[in-house]
Amino acid sequence: MMIVDLIDGDDFRNKLVGLGVLIPEGACPETCARMARRKYLETDVPDLESTVSELMSHTDVMLPSVRRAIEAHLLPAFELPRSS
């Protein structure tokens, strides 16, 4: 039997917190993505784009709620101009 470790909301939150984004404990993926987007656009978040790219390369083991949050809030943010 093969056991797969899914990328869930807690994993997503922990990745973002590890990058310096302050996110409350228990926040849903949508909230996590919105907070990361805001910080990214206002002050930058080093390695956010590469972390999101890495996560998106594993959509086969990602919960749909995490994928939808990334697609709705973070991927479009990478195309917008940021504050300097």
Cα–Cα distances (Å) from 37 to 29, 58, 75, 77, in that order, read: 12, 20, 9, 6
> Does the reported pTM lie above 0.85?
yes
Q: Is the pLDDT of residue 84 over 60?
A: no
Query: Which residue has better confidence, 81 or 66?
Result: 66
Residues 6-61: pLDDT tens digits? 999 999 999 999 999 999 999 999 999 999 999 999 998 999 999 999 999 999 99
- Does a structural domain hold residue 6? no
pLDDT of residue 80: 74
Tell me the residue range of the domain where 74 lies: 28-84
Q: Is residue 13 part of a domain?
A: no
Q: Per the structure, how many domains does the chain have?
A: 1
**Residue 78 belongs to a domain:** yes
**Per the domain annotation, does 14 fall within a domain?**
no
Cα 57 from chain centroid?
13
